[in-house]
Amino acid sequence: MSLHTNTPLQPPSDAMARTVTGGPIRGSYKIYSSPAGWPQLRVPFRKVDLSDPAEAPLQLYDASGPYTDPGYQVDLSKGLPPLREPWLAARGLEPDTAARLAGDGSHRGSTPVCPAPLTLRRGVAGKPLTQLEFARAGIVTEEMAYAAHRENLGRAEAARDAAERRADGEDFGAAIPTWVTPEFVRDEIACGRAILPANINHPELEPMLIGRNFLVKVNANIGNSAVSSGVAEEVEKLVWSTRWGADTVMDLSTGQDIHSIRSWIMRNSPVPIGTVPIYQALELVGGDPLKLDWPVFRDTLIEQAQQGVDYFTIHAGVRLAHVPLTANRVTGIVSRGGSIMARWCLAGHRENFLYTHFAEICEICRRYDVSLSLGDGLRPGSQADANDAAQFAELETLGELTRIAWDHGCQVMVEGPGHVPMHKIKANMDKQLAACGEAPFYTLGPLTTDVAPGYDHITSGIGAAMIGWFGTAMLCYVTPKEHLGLPNRDDVKTGVITYKIAAHAADLAKGHPAARVRDDALSRARFDFRWEDQFHLALDPDTAYAFHDETMPKAAHKQARFCSMCGPKFCSMKISQDLRDDVRAMEAAPCGDEAMAPVAGGLHVVGA
Amino acid sequence: MSLHTNTPLQPPSDAMARTVTGGPIRGSYKIYSSPAGWPQLRVPFRKVDLSDPAEAPLQLYDASGPYTDPGYQVDLSKGLPPLREPWLAARGLEPDTAARLAGDGSHRGSTPVCPAPLTLRRGVAGKPLTQLEFARAGIVTEEMAYAAHRENLGRAEAARDAAERRADGEDFGAAIPTWVTPEFVRDEIACGRAILPANINHPELEPMLIGRNFLVKVNANIGNSAVSSGVAEEVEKLVWSTRWGADTVMDLSTGQDIHSIRSWIMRNSPVPIGTVPIYQALELVGGDPLKLDWPVFRDTLIEQAQQGVDYFTIHAGVRLAHVPLTANRVTGIVSRGGSIMARWCLAGHRENFLYTHFAEICEICRRYDVSLSLGDGLRPGSQADANDAAQFAELETLGELTRIAWDHGCQVMVEGPGHVPMHKIKANMDKQLAACGEAPFYTLGPLTTDVAPGYDHITSGIGAAMIGWFGTAMLCYVTPKEHLGLPNRDDVKTGVITYKIAAHAADLAKGHPAARVRDDALSRARFDFRWEDQFHLALDPDTAYAFHDETMPKAAHKQARFCSMCGPKFCSMKISQDLRDDVRAMEAAPCGDEAMAPVAGGLHVVGA
């Protein structure tokens, strides 16, 4: 379905066998703008100019990083510009000399570590280090101001009728402000209702927010597999998914070279990167869950934290006592991490070491400001298992762990299901808010039926839109290949676009004050037959163009005042516009024409 | 995305230049079964045998007609077997000799009328003719018994724990019975809460029900365009969409040969066919809305009713007084029929002739048992216009018309939007139920955002699932080409599958007693690594196979106890099953092992 008409950028390094996708997204160009009072910040947006002079250009949120900036020369071995470096340098952090970054047991393959320079840092005790600690101390960081500016997208345009737009939504207790100040961001982070995932060793990051009073975000999963190979190929997955709007990316790689491949991803990622460290730990013990232990896991955490990973999924909620609750399930335990830890617990009849060592995990995460993403290892894998005792027992534990993380100064979000029929979705949100003190919820779908393998981006997009509306802060995408195979490039794009739809539908329904600005601009373009404006405002301009070309390929058709579905005679919008012409004629007629008055009197032609 | 691995059936007639798709859907075969007490009825289902002897075969609802029966020889010029002929013959109907069927002004092209025989009938006054009249008279028709049997799909399998399943849903006031008796169907039709669209001149029809206490249904739109040509090509659109589950099909053809092409569709359709007669009427007056009048429209209605069209979309709710209410809209009037009638009203400053002649429309429809589908000509075409005064003013009128139709003995359903953000969807359902006396609601999506042209099957699938849950009886599909171009074969399939997902997700959420039978069977297959069972139970087995083949193409991989996503070491379901083996071992251990007791005591291995 998706088209790849974009200019590939050739990385200059000889070491790179392949290219990553770059250049502007069709119909838009990159701009940078600085929030008032923060001239040193350059916050990226995409800008779409429209063909009608009466229509103001539209700015769009931009997660794609420098790759869509034509002025940026890709060199994967140099990495992205470390835009946070001056901010971090001023914070009195100490150098981290523990040398895990040099490689370890997991680095068995032939891939070299990314040579991009990195000033390795760690936090010190007694001084604010994490965004949460800064927020609690009343300090607005550069990251907060940067992210606030991103969140204000469209709010100036919407300001005129913001009150009306707000009243239009149902926010289920969210409190989305008319204007996002850096202080509002600070307050949301301070109370744990939002996180700003930003490892101090990821200076290339463009800061963003995850919280239910901000735009709903989307995560895409990438990861190398047995058959994949090159470093550029892995980085391209990152670049490709963020190009279409992924706000964060999880690297779920397993296998050899996991450490060195991640180094390339980190140094070239403009978005927060999440990992599931238990995967690498399992590699280190030869793949046998029963051989896992705390020291191996601890060292893995430190290694990944030093690399700059922004959030860790930790399956500390899978407690020994929960495992029997899964025994009568139709689909047992479907989370990889969850099944690994359940087996570990049960085989030795012992408590999950991630749970017993959770305070130490927090200490490591705090030192680098790695956010915690509390994994739902017991999430349901089928409609039959949704909202069962195992799932909700774990959720209670995740609430307990949330508070421990907060006590350690760590930012934390909570992962959620999974497979859930529509009528059971809201209970998930309500219970999560109650159990976890409003920490951001981060869900996988949920899939609203099990009967459509091959279309699970859709079965889950339905659930994602709904739970996003109810308050979920970030939606983890599902691709059409879910349950069946490894997603290819088209699948990744389809998954991301589907989830951008879900997230945006959620923003609209919540009454986000600026969400409808884009819908309205596109709808006006549609009604005015400004075809190219319509395409440029679309989530996927390439596909919109290609579909239109299929039936009306000529350039002149892009000016046609009808479309191929109905033809000129049956075009409702054409007829509807003729209607307006009728009205114009009537309004120009003498007032004495009383028969017309009741109709014409009520008509106000849009744009007239 | 979709694959066409099905055997094409060669129609024997020389007149047919092309084939239509036939043969069984992969992994299933056709069966017929008779409801108790009705041995003369042969109701079709698809049956899926599963590889695990412990798993009962599963029956699936089958809208595909004889085309998926390997014993059926397609001959489009002969038409489908007229299975209702003996039922109709026994009802004392009179022959209809008005010869509009022979062709008229709309038959200007070169396509011959389908030569399949048809005993043309019309109703007589004073005797029950429509399914509504029979129902009110306390009579259960063959159609009702047939459709009841279809609706009982899976209920025997679910009966064991039906009470539990029912309790699981939220039905918003629907009253879905544990078992669908013919008498229940009669009662639902009698009170207008369901319709059984079945023109007496469509004897080839396999009866089905539209109502919120039955399975949620899906409609697909087809129609010839300027570029399309052959009759077989048009019939193939019908066959292709019903193959993937479309419960009804609307023929939205415009242009020449509209009458003769429809004759081929009618004689070869196992599902109810709907039309929008104003399109043909507009052709007859040369495409100028202002030249439309009642006589032209009346004759068109009679002609199409004689052909066997099962339901008519009538835009009688677009009243003169409503038109000004659309003037400030972002996207005006986006319904073709609505814009035609609005222009007609406004140009002459006169009331819509479909409204003023509505009683006569009902008389015609009653004579052939054509169901009325009251068009929402003022449905919103953008988020901005959702739930506005124009839309709801029309809805009130549709309620008024519903009662008039009922007074004339006509079956009636009501069409709904359109473009609606999630938080405004439920109000549409609630208002429709209140305004229209619980007549079935039939909605187009709704699309929950305007920003994704190219993906509007998804933007609308979200809204369709939700409004289906809230009580909408039938969902009109939207394809990926919506707003951009004419759907091709793949688009039609993608649209139908997306809407089958929405409808099924709605059935699950409503607590339909048997809906989860299929999800559970598929999920068990998934957890047991019965790959082929999983594919055969899928809405689209072809795509599920193809996606699995992409990464694991070998036949042996269909027996693999892991999948390509995680590989053998990281497969959660493999680990989860190892966990069960651990438990089995524990349970076999001596009882004295007290340390194990608290865990093992709670474990009951599924299937053990």
For residue A224, give both structure tokens.
């190398």
Query: What is the band of A18 on the pLDDT scale with cuts at 50, 70, 90?
Result: low
- Which residues is B251 bridged to in the sheet? B222, B275
Burial of B216 (0-12, 13-18, 19+ CB in 10 A): buried
Residue B335 has pLDDT above 70, yes or no: yes
Q: Which of B511, B456, B503 is CA-nearest to residue B475?
A: B503
Cβ contact B576–A461 (<8 Å): no
Q: Whole-number mean pLDDT of chain B?
A: 88
A559 touches chain B (CB under 8 A): no
The chain B residue lying nearest A333, using CA atoms, is B576
The pLDDT of residue B165 is: 53
Q: How far is B516 from chain A (nearest CA, A)?
A: 8
In this predicted model, what pLDDT tens digit does every residue of B286-329 receive, in sequence order?
989 999 999 999 999 999 999 999 999 999 999 999 999 999 99
Chain B contact for A572 (CB, 8 A cutoff): yes
Whether residues A1 and B505 touch (CB distance < 8 A) is answered with no
Instruction: Note the pLDDT of residue B1.
Output: 30
List the CATH number of the domain containing B274. 3.20.20.540
Residue B23 forms part of a structural domain: no
**Pair B554, B505 in one domain:** no
Q: What is the pLDDT of residue B399?
A: 98
Q: CA nearest A82: which of A198, A197, A182? A: A198
In the stretch 43-102 of chain B, residues with CB closer than 8 A to chain A read none
Provide the Cα torsion A21, A22, A25, A26; round to 10°. Answer: -90
Chain B residues whose CB is inside 8 A of the A329 CB are 606
Going by C-alpha positions, the residue among A251, A254, A319 that lies closest to residue A286 is A254
Residue B538 touches chain A, beta carbons under 8 Å = yes
Specify if A595 maps to a domain: no
A375 interface with B at CB cutoff 8 Å: no
Whether residue B329 lies inside any domain: the answer is yes
Closest CA to A421 of A483, A463, A478: A463
- Cβ of A498 within 8 Å of Cβ of B455? The answer is yes
Higher pLDDT, B117 or A577: B117
- Specify whether A576 is located in the same domain as A446: no
The answer to the question of residue A103 being in a domain is: no
A339 and B CB contact within 8 Å: yes
Q: What is the mean pLDDT of residues B491-497?
A: 97
Residue B435, sorted as left (phi over 0), alpha (psi -120 to 50) or beta, turns out to be alpha
- Percent of chain B residues topping a pLDDT of 70: 87
Q: Among B324, B510, B552, whose Cβ lies nearest the Cβ of A602? A: B324
For A457-510, write each residue's pLDDT tens digit. 999 999 999 999 999 999 999 999 999 988 889 999 999 999 999 999 999 999
Question: What is the CB neighbour count within 10 angstroms for residue A77?
Answer: 18
Is the pLDDT assigned to residue A384 strictly greater than 70?
yes
Report H helices in B455-571: 456-470, 489-510, 516-527, 531-537, 541-551
Evaluate whether residue A321 is within a structural domain.
Answer: yes
CA angle A445-A449-A454, nearest 5°? 80
**Is A154 in the same domain as A181?**
yes
Mutate one of A253, A451, A581 to test the B interface: name it (highest B CB count within 10 A).
Answer: A451
The residue ranking higher by pLDDT, A137 or B560, is A137
Q: Which whole number is the average pLDDT over B33-38?
A: 96
pLDDT digits (tens, 9 = 90+) for B407-441: 999 999 999 999 999 999 999 999 999 999 999 99
Quick one: angle between helices A516-527 and A572-588, nearest 10? 80
Give contacts of A569 with chain B, Cβ < 8 Å. 254, 282, 287
Report if residue A24 sits inside a domain.
no
pLDDT exceeds 80 at position B565: no
Residue B283 CB neighbour total at 10 angstroms = 22
3-state secondary structure A184-240: HHHHHHHCCCEECCCCCCCCCCCCCCEECCCCCEEEEEECCCCCCCCHHHHHHHHHH
The reported pLDDT for the residue numbered A225 is 58
Q: Is B524 annotated as a binding residue?
A: no
Q: Are A313 and A252 in contact (CB under 8 A)?
A: no
Considering the domain architecture, whether residues A474 and A344 belong to the same structural domain is answered as yes
Q: What integer pLDDT is reported at residue B158 of this predicted model? A: 78
Rounded mean pLDDT, B149-164: 78
Average pLDDT over residues A62-90: 96
- Categorise residue A220: left if φ over 0, alpha if ψ from -120 to 50, beta otherwise: beta
Task: State yes or no: pLDDT of B593 exceeds 90.
Answer: no
> CA–CA separation, B11 vs B74, rounded Å?
5
Residues 128-187 of A with CB under 8 A from B: 168-170
Which residues in chain B have their CB less than 8 angstroms from residue A421's CB?
168-169, 505, 508-509
Stretch B112-135: mean pLDDT, rounded? 93
* pLDDT computed for residue A562 by the predictor: 65
**First vs last Cα of chain B: how many Å apart?**
39
Q: Is the pLDDT of residue A569 over 70?
A: no
pLDDT tens-digit profile of B198-254?
999 999 999 999 999 999 999 999 986 544 457 888 899 999 999 999 999 999 987
Residues A135 and A209 in one domain: yes
Res. A163 pLDDT band, cuts 50 70 90 = low
B388 vs A: CB within 8 A: no
Q: Which residue in B321, B449, B523 is closest to A382 by CB distance?
A: B523
Task: Report yes or no on B432 lying in a domain.
Answer: yes
Count of pairs with CB atoms under 8 A, one residue in A, one in B: 434
Q: Are strands A217-222 and A248-251 parallel, antiparallel or unpaired?
A: parallel
pLDDT in tens, A220-259: 999 865 444 578 888 999 999 999 999 999 999 877 788 8
* Sequence-distant (≥ 6) Cβ neighbours of residue A414 within 8 angstroms: A373, A374, A376, A395, A398, A399, A402, A432, A436, A439, A440, A441, A442
- Compute the nearest-CA separation of B30 from chain A (Å): 20
B286 touches chain A (CB under 8 A): no
Same domain assignment for residues B377 and B468? yes
The C-alpha atoms of residue B429 and residue B422 are separated, in whole angstroms, by 12
pLDDT for position B349:
93
Contact between B246 and B274 (Cβ < 8 Å):
no
Average pLDDT over residues A583-591: 56
With CA atoms as reference, report the closest residue to A479 among A504, A445, A443, A428.
Answer: A445
- What span, in angstroms and rounded, lies between the C-alpha atoms of A408 and B515? 47
**Domain-ending residue, one of A464, A486, A516:** A516
B589: tokens are 């251990």
Does the distance separating the beta carbons of A604 and B453 come in below 8 Å?
no
Share of chain A above pLDDT 70, in %: 87
CB A151, CB A176: distance < 8 Å = no
Does residue A346 belong to the interface with chain B, where contact is any CB pair within 8 Å?
A: yes
The distance of B437 to chain A (nearest Cα, Å) reads 25
**Domain that residue B494 falls in:** 131-223+236-516
Q: CB of A334 within 8 Å of any CB in chain B?
A: yes
The yes-or-no verdict on residue B145 having pLDDT over 60 is yes
The pLDDT of residue B159 = 76
φ, ψ of residue A472 to 5 degrees: the values are -65, 135
Mutate to test the interface with A, among B547, B548, B551, B580 (most CBs of A within 10 A): B547
The answer for B 497-516 residues in CB contact with A (under 8 A) is 497-498, 500-502, 504-506, 508-511, 516
Of B383, B466, B569, the CB nearest to A508: B383
DSSP A385: G
Residue B19 lies in a domain: no
Question: How confident is the model at residue A578, as a pLDDT?
Answer: 78
Mutant choice from B340, B344, B428, B570 vs A, greatest count of A C-beta within 10 A: B570
What pLDDT, on a 0 to 100 scale, did the predictor assign at position A1? 30
ipTM: 0.92
pLDDT at B11: 38
Q: Which residues of chain A does B534 touch, with a Cβ-Cβ cutoff of 8 Å?
A: 453, 483
Instruction: Indicate yes or no: CB of A462 within 8 angstroms of CB of B501.
Output: yes
Domain boundary among A516, A534, A551: A516
- 8 A C-beta contact, residue A207 and residue A196: yes
**pLDDT score of A580:** 73
Q: What is the mean pLDDT of chain A?
A: 88
The domain total for chain B is 2
Mean pLDDT of B531-540: 97
Centroid of chain to Cα A11: 26
Q: How far is CA B439 from the centre of its chain?
A: 16
Q: What is the mean pLDDT of residues B23-49?
A: 97
Same structural domain for residues A373 and A464?
yes
Residues A423 and A545 in one domain: no
- Is B523 touching A (CB cutoff 8 A)? yes
Query: Does the annotation place B229 within a ligand binding site?
Result: no
Task: Verify that A393 and A534 share a domain, yes or no.
Answer: no
CA distances from A329 to A19, A378, A391 (A): 45, 11, 11
Q: Do B373 and B499 sit in the same domain of this protein?
A: yes
A595 and B CB contact within 8 Å: yes
**CA separation for the pair A476, A373 (Å, rounded):** 12
Structure tokens, A474? 């970030």
Distance CA A320, CA A323 (A): 6
Phi, psi of A250 (to 5 degrees): -100, 130
C-alpha distances (whole Å) from A342 to each of A288, A398, B48, B95, B569 are: 13, 16, 35, 73, 15
| B608 close to A (CB below 8 A) | no
A400 shares a domain with A275? yes
pLDDT for the residue numbered A212: 97
* Cβ contact B339–A565 (<8 Å): no
Closest residue to A548, CB basis, from B327, B469, B484: B484
Residues B379 and B505 in one domain: yes
**What percent of chain B is predicted at pLDDT more than 90?**
74
Q: Tell whether B342 lies on the interface with A, counting CB pairs under 8 A.
A: yes
DSSP state of B27: T
In sequence order, the β-bridge partners of residue A30 are A46
Name residues 184-213 of chain B within 8 A of A (Cβ): none
B376 is in an annotated binding site: yes
A322 to chain B nearest CA, in Å? 9
